[in-house]
Structure 1
Amino acid sequence: MNDTILKVENISKQYRLGLVGTGTISHDLNRWWYRVRGKEDPYLKIGEANDRSTKGTSDYVWALRDINFEVQRGEVLGIIGKNGAGKSTLLKILSKVTSPTTGEIKTKGRIASLLEVGTGFHGEMTGRENIYLNGAILGMTKKEIRSKIDEIIEFSGCERYIDTPVKRYSSGMTVRLAFAVAAFLEPEILVIDEVLAVGDAEFQKKAIGKMQDISRGEGRTVLFVSHNMAAVKSLCTRCVVLENGMTTFNGETNDAIEFYLKISRDKALNYTNPKIDTNRNSIKEVNIITNTNSSFQEHNGDLQIEIFVYSKEKIMSPAVSYQIINNDGLPLIHELILNEEQEFCQRQGTYLLISIVKNIKLYQGDYRLNVFFADNFSKITYHKLIEICDFEIINTNKRPYYWQKGSAIYKEYDTTWQVKKIDEGVNT
């Protein structure tokens, strides 16, 4: 039996870049004149797709364009996509925080949303008072809220501070209480953005378990946005993939994740030296090959790094190394190969050095490389490349790991090296 609880029809959202509103009186008058004549807004015919990485030629951008999908009662729908794809904009429209430029949303029942830490909370009010405030916003009676308040406080783990103003809460405590309110006040549809990353590992486990109970046990609907593919896999029955404000896939979760990884290939995985000087020893090219053939590297998979170096002459003690660094610039893995281990750069030419990091175990998050080419004996650095080849560690294992995006090695790792002569060159 078809029991559609949420229907999204041709939802689009247009913004004017850099300004509030249309920005000019002439644009406002023009829109008014078209509207009174019963004609279409002329500015809806222009605008560009929401590609944040390129410079556009129009002042208008479509944050969302022609989004269509249905959600059944009791279904957990995942919404995934790269940063800037339009996920949060879509959830804000569904939560009625903002209105769509075009299109219509049809729902059955109340929608509770958890979009940002502290959304809907008043800092001067206590945690207890905010529970009643949020319940009232959701349309609950005081009697209904009172019957649930003990469960909410217990689940949040904030009992000691429940009568303290929320402005004194940490971000983790705030999101704990906000999630507990949204989950226990029994909305028919629960909308959750990537806010659970603020909570600690223990709370994330509780929250994901609660969402599973909400959908499977209580038959309520959840819309879930996350970059944690393991959480998406364990929770969601179906996923929508957004790219540049448009729907590019709508289907089964495993297929959606595979599609998302394929479209996320990133040119930043490769570095080519634009100015090769045959009169100096230099790094010609660096490539990262992940186990997904995209910019995503799975936790516990093999990561391959290719480094092409050019030697203008024989080097007595060549050394090539690389660091995998986090967003703070801290090196977490530092690998080195010396001529004593495998011979290279003993005559003029190009050499390919391949490093394979077996079963890489880094925390989820963004990483990049520093690469060095030097003489180990004289300590002269011939060439260095800093912060190149961005990639992201993800976890798609069936057993989810609950950790913060972070800055530490998860376990020991193992590395192997290979050396290949690319060309003979000319002896000097």
Structure 2
Amino acid sequence: MKDIILKAENISKQYRLGQVGTGTLSHDLNRWWHQVRGKENPYLKIGDTNDRSTKGISEYVWALQDINFEVERGEVLGIIGKNGAGKSTLLKILSKVTAPTTGCIKSRGRIASLLEVGTGFNPELTGKENIFLNGAILGMTKKEIASKLDEIVEFSGCERYIDTPVKRYSSGMTVRLAFAVAAFLEPEILVIDEVLAVGDAEFQKKAIGKMQDISREGGRTVLFVSHNMAAVKSLCTRGIVMENGKVVFEGGINDSVKRYLQGDIINIKLADIKNRIGNKKVLFDNVQVYGAEKGIKPMTGEPMNIVFNIVNRDLINSSEIRFDLRIDDDFGQRLVWVSSILKDLETLDNPDKIIISFKKTPFEFGMYFATIYLGVHNEDADWIDNAFTFNIEAGNYFSSKKKQPNGQSKINVDFDISYK
């Protein structure tokens, strides 16, 4: 028998667009008149899908629509999706911060939430006072909270400021204390949004380790939202993928991450770029960038492919063509240079395609800029500076599953290390 601790049944959330409180009285009266006559809310039949990139035709939008899932006790569920997919709205409903328009949430146990920096903290109270306040909200006695106080303060790393009002804390300190309170006051269900991204690398590592401990050893349930797929894969056992307010996939965490990374192939028409140098004996036509297979986004530590289609009207063979690819970071600093002159390549008549493959993508999460070059007989044929950009999703490069601390390097390198 499954031990279900949280269940979402037909959850939908509708919002009205525009200025809040303007022109809504007639709508409220219309809802009331339908309710008096025992009829359905008339506005539940209208509203656009929650696609932030389109204009839409209705003044109502469905932030969530028909969400159904179950969470077992001790499970760590990852909720993943793009910005605007409805993840935070769902967590607010699960935490009872806001009510659903339709449907209901059934839970067995206390729910502690970290939804936004400072949520649930009174900025005028000290850190210690906020610990007791949050514990009281969770239904704990003063004695129970006091027994955990030293552990909370030590884990947060804010001991020097614990008697200082929270309004004087940095955002990172606030998150540290809020997480420590939520984790150590032993709620049955812990709901965490992207707030951990505010903390530094050391704290993120501690927080993820603590979440693993409370789920495995404490048998408590964690719902985790993050755009860091490495953290999601290392922490979660199961995932749901959301798009435009709907659940589009539910399953094992590896399959969920793969589904999230699916998207349109980066396909850029290079032939349309006017600012280029060369005699045009061979030309770049277009480029495609994708991960391990077409339809999968590139991810740190996973395979990546860059495929160029070229125009070769003079039927020049490959031994006479030089290809260079330079990859820069967003500050214009060169990170990687790839060139055909570094490889012994088989001669091919009339090539019309160049394929670059990375067995393990070395780049960390972020955006990168590519400059490309073709030469024929030591002459510039086609040279395009900053021809295109591509994005890398966060992942784990090292087989140890340990992640490079943020900001240490833009690229990873494989290495051996030993003590003797």
TM range (shorter): 0.7 to 0.9
Distance 1:356 1:259, change over 3 A: closer
Does the CA-based 8 Å contact 1:319-1:339 persist in structure 2? no
Partner of 1:367: 367
Partner of 1:155: 155
The secondary structure found in structure 1 opposite 2:298 is: strand
- Counterpart of 1:96, as a letter, is K
- Counterpart of 2:232, as a letter, is V
Distance 1:163 1:292, change over 3 A: farther
The alpha-carbon deviation at position 212 of structure 1 amounts to 1.9
In 2, Cα distance between equivalents of 1:224 and 1:288: 30
Partner of 2:200: 200
- Counterpart of 1:360, as a letter, is T
- Counterpart of 1:101, as a letter, is T
Correspondences of 1:399-418 after superposition (within 5 Å): 399-403=400-404, 408-412=409-413
Q: Unaligned regions of 5+ residues in structure 1, if any?
A: 415-428
Correspondences of 1:385-396 after superposition (within 5 Å): 385-395=386-396
What do the CA deviations read for 1:122-157 (whole angstroms, capped 9, x no partner)?
333322122122222222222221111111001112
Partner of 2:418: none
Partner of 2:257: 257
In 2, Cα distance between equivalents of 1:52 and 1:325: 30
The secondary structure found in structure 2 opposite 1:71 is: strand
What do the CA deviations read for 1:23-73 (whole angstroms, capped 9, x no partner)?
444433333322332222222111222223333232222111111112222
Correspondences of 1:21-170 after superposition (within 5 Å): 23-170=23-170
The secondary structure found in structure 1 opposite 2:13 is: strand
CA RMSD for the aligned pairs?
A: 3.5
The secondary structure found in structure 2 opposite 1:32 is: helix
Q: Unaligned regions of 5+ residues in structure 2, if any?
A: 416-420
In 1, Cα distance between equivalents of 2:297 and 2:356: 18
Partner of 2:190: 190
TM-score (norm 1): 0.82
The alpha-carbon deviation at position 342 of structure 1 amounts to 7.3
The secondary structure found in structure 1 opposite 2:15 is: strand
In 1, Cα distance between equivalents of 2:210 and 2:125: 26
Does the CA-based 8 Å contact 1:78-1:225 persist in structure 2? yes
Give the share of equivalent positions with the same residue, in percent.
58
In 2, Cα distance between equivalents of 1:168 and 1:381: 56
Give the number of aligned pairs. Answer: 407
In 2, Cα distance between equivalents of 1:201 and 1:191: 20
- Counterpart of 2:68, as a letter, is N
What do the CA deviations read for 1:377-400 (whole angstroms, capped 9, x no partner)?
788975445443444242387743
Does the CA-based 8 Å contact 2:271-2:284 persist in structure 1? no
The alpha-carbon deviation at position 12 of structure 1 amounts to 0.5
Does the CA-based 8 Å contact 1:298-1:396 persist in structure 2? no
The alpha-carbon deviation at position 209 of structure 1 amounts to 2.0
The alpha-carbon deviation at position 184 of structure 1 amounts to 0.7
Distance 1:293 1:23, change over 3 A: farther
In 2, Cα distance between equivalents of 1:141 and 1:412: 51
In 1, Cα distance between equivalents of 2:193 and 2:159: 25
Distance 1:247 1:301, change over 3 A: closer
Distance 1:225 1:18, change over 3 A: same
Instruction: Say yes or no: does 1:214 pair with 2:214.
Output: yes
